[in-house]
Amino acid sequence: MASTYKTEGKTRLVNYFSQHPDTQYTVDELHAALSEAYPDVYQNQGKGCGKSSLYRQLSLLLEEGTVRKFRDATQAAYVYQYVACGACSHHFHLKCLNCGKLEHLDCVLSDQLLSHIRTDHNFIIDRGRSILYGLCAACHTNESTPVSLPLCPCEHKHT
């Protein structure tokens, strides 16, 4: 059962997430970002919001469905993201390995891919928890992008 308990910290956290709907954060990244955004609360000589409080707030937001928790393969850590669209469980996500931006892939072709995998491979994908990693348009067209991606991580040619 979702909690309706409201605190200033929880409200501040939801507001911060809603301003950054395409970003996923580890707890450390989120705490650092909140410390910068609200220094009076998060850096107040031990009187501010600690990580344990942040974990409690995130648990409540997860329970309510306000944020989602993903296992991020690139960081080997859990990340949290605001559910801005309200339908994250109905589409894939694209995550840029360079800038970290997360895009929602709400496309008819992804439905066709899901159907093919289910029919031809007898496998059901949880599309809301499925993230495809690569480079966003801004990063792959930027010549100074430090990320170089092989087409296949094993570096073998596949046919």
In CATH, what number is assigned to the domain containing residue 51?
A: 1.10.10.10
- Output phi, psi for 10, to 5 deg: -65, -45
78 shares its domain with 120: no
> What integer pLDDT is reported at residue 158 of this predicted model?
45
Orientation of helix 51-64 relative to helix 27-37, angle to 10°: 110
Q: How many CB atoms lie within 10 A of CB 4?
A: 7
The CATH number of residue 96's host domain is: 3.30.1490.190
User: pLDDT by residue (tens digit) across 76-114?
Assistant: 788 888 876 656 667 788 888 888 777 878 778 888 888
Domain total of the chain: 2
Are residues 80 and 7 part of one domain? Answer: yes
Do residues 76 and 92 both lie within one domain? no
- The pTM assigned to this predicted structure is 0.61
In this structure, the answer to whether residues 57 and 125 fall within a common structural domain is no
69 and 134 in a single domain? The answer is: no
Point out the domain boundary residue: 47, 69, 84: 84
Question: In which band, very low, low, confident or very high, does the pLDDT at 159 lie, cut at 50, 70 and 90?
Answer: very low
Going from the C-alpha of 18 to that of each of 37, 79, 97, 145, the distances in angstroms are 13, 15, 22, 28
42 and 63 co-located in one domain: yes
User: Does one domain contain both 32 and 68?
Assistant: yes
For residues 10 and 79, membership in a common domain is answered with yes
Identify whether residues 129 and 154 lie together within a single domain: yes
Q: Are residues 153 and 99 part of one domain?
A: yes
Domain boundaries, position 126? 87-159
Residues 21 and 33 in one domain: yes
pLDDT at 118 over 60: yes
Condensed to tens digits (0 to 9), the pLDDT of residues 4-20 reads 567 787 888 999 988 98
pLDDT at residue 134 tops 80 = yes
pLDDT of amino acid 20: 86
Whether 157 shows a pLDDT value over 80: the answer reads no
